[in-house]
Amino acid sequence: MGQTISDGAGKGFSLQIDDENRARTLTDTRTEEHHIAETDQAVFFLHTGDTADTLTVTATGGTIIFVQNDSSTKRLVISEIIIGSDVAGTVIRMVKNYTVGSIADNNVLTPFNSFLGAADTADLTAHSWDEVNNGVGGLTLGTLIAVGLTSAGGNEPELRQAIVLDRKDNFGIELKSVSTTDECNITLVCFFDTA
């Protein structure tokens, strides 16, 4: 039979030690996104499909989805980006911290909470392009952080690191067509982090 080590603070916690002098531990291999969904009930989806299943991206290109962290206390973590395209080669540009003017040519996006039954409220502002002109208007290019291309039938850029928006930061994805009929859609999965 193993030994037990008391916490030393009188709180009643103990650590079990087995016969081979190893501490007994439990681990949790859930992603941070799944942990937040369970504990905070607040993992959100934003998608361009609020008004149309797909958007016809132009050869001029422009910002298709834009999100701004409106929280003054929490960071917004974009943990997953899903971009669908019916043709290969649509140019993807990810931009952080646009200069924001008067937003135009847009649809206001409502975040959808993945925890069904919880409120769909998030301290953020989000817009998708309304297919007028070439993208969401009123944005001046910020810091270009990544460029890529879609593959036919869909593309999920491999994120080795989440995109973290500090308090009041913003992020957008621009798409540019390689033909005249690129049909695309974008979904972002995000949550708030207090760290």
> Closest Cα partner for 55 from 155, 135, 141, 158?
135
Q: What percent of the chain has pLDDT over 90?
A: 36
Average pLDDT score, the chain: 82
Residue 19 has pLDDT above 70, yes or no: yes
What pLDDT score was predicted for residue 33? 57
> Closest Cα partner for 188 from 112, 71, 82, 111?
82
Arithmetic mean of pLDDT, 20-34: 66
Q: How far is CA 15 from CA 2, 5, 27, in A?
A: 10, 5, 14
Arithmetic mean of pLDDT, 169-186: 89
CATH of domain 29-193: 2.60.120
Q: What percent of the chain has pLDDT over 70?
A: 78
What pLDDT score was predicted for residue 109? 92
Tokens of 192: 């708030």
What pLDDT score was predicted for residue 1? 47
79-129 pLDDT, tens digit each: 888 888 888 888 999 999 999 999 999 999 989 888 777 766 889 999 999
167-176 pLDDT, tens digit each: 999 999 999 9
